[in-house]
Structure 1
């Protein structure tokens, strides 16, 4: 019979001692599930439940499955200490060592908001994450349209987080958030990746970082929902534009069918699309669902 994990979450070796493995890094303590529930699940809060699992393939896939089966209510938060099959946009892989970041999904049911405005949810989450981390980690963050969180490491922009939104049925959206917190340089999956620690965060304790992110997300979501998802009157459109590093840069949007659009990113429109001013004098909006890659345009 398999020996169960001990209180630290580390499977014991044959002598009953914790193994020295990816779970025994003292700089990466486990999340305090009890403390998180006490802080987040309260009367009148959006958050209804906090579940922490040791390891899973994808929190988004797990939460979508629960929602599809009718076993999840709005405000359910699913956290994993490790994801073995984490996904980004367009099913791109997201990998990180155990307990090195925040890997979570939340279930939202914005039924008061017209479905046409649900495309703002990933952008809203980006604003909330950037705002929460700037306060709790004491670092400057910015957003790469549509769903990347950027930090500055040694004077260069690096991606430290990403957001993935998936529909469940007709009334729910699962929002996945992945944030690199304590990744070291030799652990980065690609040279353009970063982490809060590498960006000089004043603190890398994941519990207060997570609380700050989720409280910020609750505030923005409730405000947006209260005005039926209007990005202008909620302040979301203006705030996103103010923190979007993509605006003002000349980029190449690669689209399906080997088509691409090159232009200066001049605005984010009322539908959350990036507006490119092309060399032909045309302003062309591109939607997140249509863009395969968004890269700096080379001369």
Structure 2
């Protein structure tokens, strides 16, 4: 792991950040940033129910008081300790294809951030299926993908909301509190001119392009790219649901539906994105 470090990033004032990002992201019909809200994902989903037109949208917040993670977990981070932002897009996919968007967005976020860091030193940045970002063995960011069928007859398909929480500082404290390795942006050695706005712009463009591409090509076109940043490939893992081990085996990458392939004693088993956690076996 690189010994380089990056100074902790400060979050600009919400209006400043919103205006800068709006200038940088002309394809986005709405760009906003709040000092505080319950959940940026929930805010965008609520807006999509009332007025679905005009996407893509971006909404960030310095503080989320009702932040949500996968499997319904709730979490809250002190203001300034994490970058918390959500993006809403219209997609035209079958409902059966939507689960593949979780690993797709993990891949898009990983590739976007690796490009910012510099591919020559971004090797420790990988994706742990379905979409956690890791720096080495420590979690750097988590993503939550939620969907809503558009009810407005003028907007077909689904609204997809992608939320990301990326640790900016306090990794050591979080590691001790949670009892597992946590990383933050200050540890990874990104160039000094990469600030919060640059990170958000890279994520926005990365998600947008990946979602356009997957609608044309399907997730199968991304399988080899995912393999380049797969944190689990070749590892012995447990698949856990609510503390109970459901499967054990060797991770073998992903299939064309975005499912984790697990080599077990009874053959290769696909693991569906859902209420499952994957942990390396001890």
> After TM superposition, is the score higher than 0.5?
yes
Shift of the alpha carbon at 1:136? 1.4
SS state of the match for residue 43, structure 2?
helix
Q: What is residue 186 of structure 2 aligned with on the other side?
A: 197
Cα root mean square deviation, aligned: 2.3
Residues 187/289 of structure 1: CA separation in 2 closer, same or farther (3 Å cut): closer
TM-score, normalising length: structure 1: 0.79
Q: Could you tell me which runs of 5 or more consecutive residues in structure 1 were left unpaired when the two chains were aligned.
A: 1-24
Q: Does 1:150 align with 2:134?
A: yes
Give the whole-Å Cα distance in 2 for the aligned partners of 1:209 and 1:179. 10
SS state of the match for residue 237, structure 1?
helix
Shift of the alpha carbon at 1:268? 0.7
Instruction: Output aligned runs, 1:159-174, within 5 Å.
Output: 159-170=139-150, 171-174=158-161
Give the whole-Å Cα distance in 1 for the aligned partners of 2:229 and 2:87. 23
Give the whole-Å Cα distance in 2 for the aligned partners of 1:297 and 1:186. 25
Residues 258/116 of structure 1: CA separation in 2 closer, same or farther (3 Å cut): same
8 A contact 2:148–2:159 mirrored in 1: yes
8 A contact 1:29–1:99 mirrored in 2: no
Q: What is residue 127 of structure 1 aligned with on the other side?
A: 107
RCO comparison, higher one (Cα < 8 Å, 6+)? 2
8 A contact 1:163–1:176 mirrored in 2: yes
8 A contact 1:183–1:198 mirrored in 2: no
Aligned residues: 259
8 A contact 2:87–2:204 mirrored in 1: no
Shift of the alpha carbon at 1:289? 1.1
Give the whole-Å Cα distance in 1 for the aligned partners of 2:253 and 2:52. 40
1:58-79: CA deviation from partner (whole Å, max 9, x where unpaired): 1111111111223564201111
Shift of the alpha carbon at 1:199? 2.5
Q: Which has the higher strand share?
A: 2
Q: Could you tell me which runs of 5 or more consecutive residues in structure 2 were left unpaired when the two chains were aligned.
A: 1-7, 151-157
TM-score, normalising length: structure 2: 0.84
Max Rg structure: 1
SS state of the match for residue 102, structure 1?
strand
Shift of the alpha carbon at 1:51? 0.9
Q: What is residue 115 of structure 1 aligned with on the other side?
A: 95
Q: Which has the higher helix share?
A: 2
Q: What is residue 38 of structure 2 aligned with on the other side?
A: 57
8 A contact 1:183–1:197 mirrored in 2: no
Moved over 6 A (4+): none
Q: What is residue 285 of structure 1 aligned with on the other side?
A: 270
